[in-house]
């Protein structure tokens, strides 16, 4: 029996890696607009290339991480009922995340609220409402609220500054 496992994480990671590689290739082949005397750091393919590299890096993490779930035994003498999976899919969490993302990206972004404020609010709500594990209490503690606020403000500020000062992109 082959010990190689093709789990959903490894297959998904491989798909994301190929997708990221295609983005990097596409950004590398983009016109650099040298005839317009565009600085290399602001060429059209820089940001997509960096995003493609990021996708590839996270795909590698997804493919290479240690699996913690139990292997299912399909032998004939093992006919017991399957146990409940602790990592069952959470439709409520997915729906809430989709609602927050669509509200942020489709309904609010570019409608007059400054980017960094809107992004900080989106991240704060996402961190507060969609905890990482089942250990998250129903009511947020003061520590959790403060940590979510600090992280949201820090990430929003860094992203805004990087885009405006490094990539020279005006944000709404």
Which helix (H) or strand (E) segment holds residue 44: the answer is none
Q: Is there a single domain that holds both residue 120 and residue 158?
A: yes
pLDDT, tens only, 5-25: 567 778 888 888 999 999 999
- Position 50 in a domain: yes
Distance CA 69, CA 115 (A): 40
- 97 and 59 within one domain: no
Collapsing DSSP states into helix, strand and coil, what is residue 77?
coil
DSSP summary character for residue 104: I
Whether 99 and 55 share a structural domain: no
104, 58: one domain: no
How many structural domains does the chain have?
2
Q: Look at residue 160 and tell me if it is in a domain.
A: yes
Q: Answer whether 62's CB lies under 8 Å from 16's CB.
A: yes
- Residue 81 covered by a domain: no
Name the least confident of 46-50, 60-64, 126-130, 134-138.
Answer: 134-138
- 73 falls within a domain: no
**Where are the alpha helices (H) located in the chain, listed in sequence order?**
8-28, 46-64, 91-102, 115-129, 142-161
| Region 154-168 average pLDDT | 90
Residues 6+ apart with CB under 8 A from 9: 62, 63, 65, 67
Cβ neighbours of residue 122 under 8 Å, at least 6 residues apart? 100, 104, 152
Instruction: Reply yes or no on whether the pLDDT at 35 is more than 90.
Output: no
Q: Are residues 99 and 154 in the same domain?
A: yes
Decide if 45 is inside a domain. Answer: yes
Residues 52 and 118 placed together within one structural domain of the fold? no
Per-residue pLDDT tens digits for 45-78: 888 899 999 999 999 998 887 655 545 454 555 4
Sign of CA dihedral 30, 31, 33, 34: positive
Q: Answer with the one of 64, 81, 104 that is the final residue of a domain.
A: 64
Q: 159 and 122 in contact (C-beta within 8 Å)?
A: no
* Domain-located, residue 59: yes
Same-domain check for residues 96 and 148: yes
162 and 101 part of one domain:
yes
Instruction: Tell me what pLDDT residue 156 has.
Output: 94
Range of the domain at 28: 8-64
Same domain, 107 and 155: yes
pTM over 0.85: no
For residue 33 the two structure tokens come to 């607009």
Residue 137: band (very low, low, confident or very high) from pLDDT cuts 50, 70, 90: low
């Amino acid at each position: 029996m082959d010990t190689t496992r093709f789990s959903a994480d490894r297959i998904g990671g491989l798909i994301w890696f190929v997708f990221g590689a295609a983005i990097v290739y596409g950004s590398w082949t983009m016109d650099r607009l040298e005839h317009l005397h565009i600085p290399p750091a602001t060429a059209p393919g820089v940001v997509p290339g960096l995003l493609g590299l990021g996708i590839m890096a996270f795909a590698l993490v997804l493919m290479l991480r240690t699996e913690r779930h139990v292997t299912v035994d399909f032998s004939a003498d093992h006919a017991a009922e399957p146990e409940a999976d602790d990592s069952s899919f959470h439709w409520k969490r997915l729906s809430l995340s989709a609602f927050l993302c669509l509200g942020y990206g489709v309904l609010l972004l570019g409608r007059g609220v400054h980017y960094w404020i809107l992004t900080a609010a989106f991240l704060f709500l996402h961190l507060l409402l969609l905890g990482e594990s089942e250990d998250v209490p129903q009511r947020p503690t003061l520590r959790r609220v403060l940590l979510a606020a600090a992280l949201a403000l820090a990430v929003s500020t860094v992203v805004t500054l990087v885009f405006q000062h490094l990539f020279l992109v005006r944000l709404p």
